[in-house]
Amino acid sequence: MSIQRSLTHTKEILVVYGANKQTQLQKILNFFVTKMIIGSGFIILLIVLIEWLRSALLDKTSLSNDIKALIVGVAEASIATIGYIFIFTLYEKRRIDELRAELFVKSASIGFLSGVLLQSLFILFIYLGGTFSVVSINPSSVLIKPFAFALTAGFVAEVILIGILFRLLEQQIGTAMSLIAFIVLFGILHINVEGATTISIAATAMQAGLLLPAAYVFSRNLWLPIFLHFGWDFAEPGIFGGINPSSSLNQGLLTTKIAGNSLLTGGITGPQNSLSSLVLCLALGLVFLLLAKRRNNLKKPYRRTTR
């Protein structure tokens, strides 16, 4: 009997140990930083796969570079979206409301037009300052590469930065602290960028750290920030021939001459890093947050309930 009791007791200990071990593993996997790493890593891995397929297959075809860029842009935008839906449906066991199809048309339209309008306003201020002129108008076919670049940038960047990093951070520390963290982070990341100035650093912090997250908080979907970023990156080099620091594009629909005070033009970092960009992105970001507050979309820091 004593042996039987010992075996039973040992079995109970093993069951409890196994349960505790599983609980610890679940806690680690569900920790928000772990989610950030796994989610971002999964999306990045998918993008690396597309780039590998490009070099292994697409680059060996006789297709033009523009068509190759378009195929890759569409593929990377699609795989980033599908990958996000897949990993977080599996991981969080929920419907991915932030990418609902019924929200696409309205949010994508508002986002794209907002991005293009902002860039148009930056150019307008430069023009009013007498430092913007159109040298030539190029064939519409030159828009393919800027379109492909902007598509990849808009989807991949915002799926990772807003869909994964900001969303999970906001769940833990609330909207206000997450916005502050993003503003500081993007400011620090751009301190050592070539040609960086106080204005360009602040402008970037307002764009990536305030405006795009605020667009998500206002809409509570990813389509708005994705297409705001897409419209922004498409218009700056693709339409207006401006410099985009993250792009090597050297031709757009318009070949333009932009010169003058760097406060107005953004200098070697382009119109998106001008004083008008800083002011307008700050203003629109605050408008989004005001509207988000009216919708009761602001989140407070997560607090565990204690018994």
pLDDT range class, residue 8, cuts 50, 70, 90 = low
Q: Domain for residue 200, yes or no?
A: yes
What pLDDT is stored for residue 33 in this prediction? 93
Q: Domain for residue 180, yes or no?
A: yes
Q: Please give the residue that has the higher pLDDT: either 195 or 223.
A: 223
Q: Domain for residue 150, yes or no?
A: yes
Using a pLDDT cut of 70, give the percent of the chain over it: 91
Pull the structure tokens for residue 83.
């990958």
Query: 54: which residues sit within 8 A by CB, 6+ positions away?
Result: 68, 72
Q: How do strand 132-137 and strand 254-258 relate by DSSP bridges?
A: antiparallel
Helix (H/G/I), strand (E/B), else coil: 290: helix
Is the Cβ–Cβ distance between 159 and 81 less than 8 Å? yes
Q: Domain for residue 203, yes or no?
A: yes
Distance between CA atoms of 217 and 289, rounded to whole angstroms? Answer: 7
Q: Domain for residue 30, yes or no?
A: no
Domain that holds residue 274: 104-294
What pLDDT is stored for residue 17 in this prediction? 47
Domain count, the chain: 1
Q: How far is CA 294 from CA 5, 175, 217, 228, 298, in A?
A: 64, 14, 11, 22, 9
Is the Cβ–Cβ distance between 162 and 34 less than 8 Å? no
The model's pTM? 0.89
Q: Domain for residue 131, yes or no?
A: yes
- CA-nearest of 229, 234, 248, 213 to 154 is 229
Q: Domain for residue 215, yes or no?
A: yes
Mean pLDDT of 103-129: 94
Distance between CA atoms of 265 and 117, rounded to whole angstroms? Answer: 17
Q: Domain for residue 168, yes or no?
A: yes
What pLDDT is stored for residue 304 in this prediction? 59
Mean pLDDT of 231-254: 85
Q: Is the pLDDT of residue 170 over 90?
A: yes
